[in-house]
Amino acid sequence: MTDTPTAKPGKVRLPAEDLRTFSAALLEKGGLSPEHAATTAAVFVWAALRGVDSHGIARVPAYLELLAKGVANAQAEMKLESTAPAAAVLDADRAPGPVALSAAAEEAVNRARTTGIASVGVRGTVHTGAIGYYVSKIAEQGLVGIGFVAGMPNMGYTGVKGTAVATSPLAIAVPTTASSEHAPLLLDMATATIALGKIRQAKASGTPLPEGAAATEDGTPTTDPSTAVMPLPLGGAKGSGMSFAFELLTSVLVGAPIFAAFHSDDPGGRKHRQNALLIAVDPAAFGGADGFTADVDTTLSTLKGLPVADGADGVYYPGERSAAVAVRRGEQGIPVAPKVWRELTENAEKFGITPPTPIA
């Protein structure tokens, strides 16, 4: 993931803290409590800092719409259910994903401190946001974070005609030592070859899509962005198989199947919702946290020291480049696209909020 020192023409740059405060103020006006608005804004700004703009500040207007339409529940009454020390289910009551998954991550860490490993399933949330954020919060506590998400089918499946499964993501965060020169490892990936947003961008610009990345409504692969409506799974059967497995490990596990309901005759089966599973692993339960993180540092250094292939600009581990982008954007400001900035300022005017001043 890369970023440039200066914003592209038409973009404005704003300090991360200003964007966090501004986003939280808008979300609070949208109906969230001050605490939940701040939590949601923190997830968006984290993604924007790391260059994941599709899950960054652009999500604020979308969430305001979800709240206004009642798709997301601003007054959600989340309930924790548990029958075992190392496992729990958080019924989100349609709370925004950042609210529900942040609570689930904290619960998983607290339980793992006692049990060594703990998992918390999230039932019935609305758009989980950047899943990398939640596993990163687990890693900040010195534990390994693992997360899966299942959502509404919007991707093809090998051998199926038309939409079948979701572009369900997987994220893994592994901590390094506090004094390490390396940022924590963060693998954050979808099971799709290309994001839906990339298809929309290609359609707007008329740019051909990569081979095997997208398909028409009936599932026929195409490079024509004007006829592409859905992404294809990463690695064919591998990506579609992972997505299907995540449905079983999240939705079915917490008693809230999405896939079967979506493909049934019940109209309610197409009501937007998502489920998730977060797992926290305490290295101390496997022989010692200090030795683990020291060996993680050595492993990352070993990878970085391998010969660089011809034509490559370096050897990188998952999350390294996005961490560097976060440092750069933290110093220089977060670029916000003109359309997004316009939507933000229009909402600010409606709510009587003064937008922050862009960096000159």
**Cα–Cα distance between 322 and 308 in angstroms, integer?**
20
CA angle (152, 155, 158) in 5-degree steps: 130
Please give the backbone phi and psi of residue 236, each rounded to the nearest 5 degrees, phi first: 65, -120
Which residue intervals of 141-236 are DSSP H helices?
196-205
120 band by pLDDT with thresholds 50, 70 and 90: very high
Residues 235-253, mean pLDDT to the nearest whole number: 97
pLDDT in tens, 201-237: 788 888 999 999 999 998 899 999 999 999 999 999 9
Burial 76-95, CB ≥16 within 10 A → b, else e? bebeeeeeeebbbbbbbbbb
Q: Are 144 and 174 in contact (CB under 8 A)?
A: yes
Q: Are the C-beta atoms of residues 139 and 174 closer than 8 Å to each other?
A: yes
What is the pLDDT, as a whole number, of residue 2? 42
| 7 pLDDT more than 50 | no
Q: CA 206, CA 202: separation in Å to the nearest integer?
A: 6
Beta bridge partners of 230: 215
Question: So what's the pLDDT on residue 38?
Answer: 98
> Do 192 and 234 contact (CB within 8 A), yes or no?
yes
Contact 67, 74 (CB under 8 A): yes
Question: What is the pTM assigned to this prediction?
Answer: 0.93
What Å distances lie between residue 335 and 78, 198, 300, 328, CA to CA? 34, 18, 30, 11
